[in-house]
Structure 1
Amino acid sequence: MSDALTRFILVRHGRTEYNAQNRLQGRMDIPLAERGVRQAEAVAPVIAGMDPDVIVCSPLTRARQTARRIGRACGIDPVPDDRLMEIDVGRWGGLRVADLRREAPNLVAAREVGKDFRRPGGETGSEVMDRIAGAMEGLAAHHPGQTVVVVSHGFALRTGICRLLGGDYSASRGLGGLSNCSWTLLDRFSNEESRARGLATPWRLRAYNCQVAGD
């Protein structure tokens, strides 16, 4: 691949028990459930078939467990990066969405229509978008012309992608959610190539929320 193009393969971690229970995880260090392990093992050879050069991941256990399985299939050791962590939901960690509807109906209503706000004791959506977008730009600068696997989290990846494509937080819900162990392809043209092509943003979304058949 030419240095003019860096390809990203963005993978959401496998399923956890908190995913199954519709609980908010945020920075809580929840491991993969048995189904999540199977998902990671199933997606690993698919990612390996894309010939990645580098694997980076969130340091949270569910992401590291997913990345390790992908790494074994690729013959690459994943590198943890704190910038790739999930949104910090603060005091909401571990709560079910149904609990939040009772305890903070106004904030839940704002969340469901795409309005941004600070999670109690945690982050805003815009802060997460900027953090992930900054991490991706940094990785593109350090790995020009390579294929980079990023194993992270659903909210973080979805909002970060939206920011890189030029959207704000309210636009991020339009992308739709990312399934566990789905992969998304995002290309980053070099600044020179982007200018030559007259692009508004150097980032291009090639595929979104791809999944292994039968999961």
Structure 2
Amino acid sequence: MLTITLIRHGESTHNVLALWSGCTECPLTERGTQQARAVGAYFANTHFTKIYASPLPRARDTAQAVLDAQPTPKPPHDFTVAQIREQSFGAAEGHQTCIRKPGKTLEAHFAEEKYPILYESERHVAFPGGESVEDLTKRGERAVREVVLPHMLNVARLGSDEHIALVSHGLCIAQMVGAIVRLGGGTWKRKGPMVNTGWVRVEVRIQGGIPVEVADDEVPLVEVTVTDEGRADHLEGLLDEGPLRGMKAIMGGGVVDAKSPNEAEAIPQTSAV
């Protein structure tokens, strides 16, 4: 069986300021560092066979905390995986979100360097120079093919269990989980946004017996189960932020409720997976 644990990064400086962060290299806050150490300690007795991370500092440093807490010998790791970086927000990055003015087009907002939270129905829309949700969906599928599938094939061919960790970002994690579930022919509806260092776990079981002869680009017949979602029990006693709202919810994988965009309430982005 292949087990995949996907971990969101710790709190970043952009999270605190409610800025569009995307691919901007913003660091962890002191609280974010504490969260990273907490999730690392939580998984200290979990044997990861490999740890991957987005190259963005907030994810890379969170992954380092997870690696540091692993027993010796440390598992192999790759903290340069560009495929699992966060959605790019282009010109919006570094800007705060704003209230969308009724009757005013998005283009008019962009011309004034105003970047409102997009509706769930606008998954095809991208900020200038950035990625849309549809773009991120395709990248998430590519990441699963390039990063996860080789481990799946290894399990299918050898019959040995593996457990990999992917330290990434809320929006990208949502897309990758959806892509993994689709490999097994299923669908996935996220329950809600992830807090910083929250995690999701997916189990992939090879069907039809092992070993399986499969080509390098072929997906074996699998059964996929999301066993854990939105877990953050490692933060007990540390996290006391109340309900996620606004940008912190959006970056955790939520979208704005189309009925109340100005309040920036987060709801699961079911259309994206």
TM-score, reference length from structure 2 = 0.65
Give the Cα separation in 2 of the matches to 1:73 and 1:202: 31
Counterparts in 2 of 1:113 and 1:126: CA distance versus 1, 3 Å: closer
Q: Is 16-25 or 123-132 further displaced after alignment?
A: 123-132
The list of structure 1 runs, each at least 4 consecutive aligned residues, that deviate by more than 6 angstroms after superposition, is none
Is the counterpart of residue 96 in structure 1 residue 92 in structure 2?
no
Query: Using CA pairs below 8 Å that are at least 6 residues apart, which structure has the higher relative contact order?
Result: 1
**Structure 1, residues 70-108: CA drift from partner, whole Å, max 9, x if none?**
00111235302111111111001011122x63535xx84
User: How many pairs does the alignment contain?
Assistant: 198
Inter-partner Cα distance in structure 1 for 2:148 and 2:231: 22
Query: Separation in 1 of the partners of 2:204 and 2:13?
Result: 34
For residues 40 and 136 of structure 2, what CA distance do their matches in structure 1 show? Answer: 27
1:165 and 2:186 aligned:
no
CA distance in 1, matches of 2:205, 2:222: 9
- How far apart, CA to CA, are the structure 1 residues paired with 2:76 and 2:16? 29
Residue 20 of structure 1 and its aligned partner are, at CA, apart by: 1.1
Aligned residues of 1:84 and 1:156 also touching (Cα < 8 A):
yes
Which stretch shifts more, 124-133 or 143-152?
Answer: 124-133
RMSD: 2.5
In 2, Cα distance between equivalents of 1:174 and 1:149 = 19
Q: Give the secondary-structure state (helix, strand or coil) at the position aligned to 2:100.
A: helix
Question: Which of 18, 41, 45 matches 2:14?
Answer: 18
Counterpart of 1:156?
Answer: 172
Percent identity, aligned pairs only, is 23
Q: Which residue of 2 aligns with 1:78?
A: 77
**Greater displacement, 129-138 / 178-187:** 129-138
Unpaired stretches in structure 1, ≥5 consecutive residues: 194-199
Unaligned runs of 5+ in 2: 102-108, 156-160, 210-220, 240-273
Match of 2:126 in 1: 118
Tell me the CA shift for residue 138 of structure 1: 3.1
- Separation in 2 of the partners of 1:54 and 1:210? 21
Q: Residue 43 of structure 2 aligns with which residue? A: 47
Pick the structure with greater CA Rg.
2
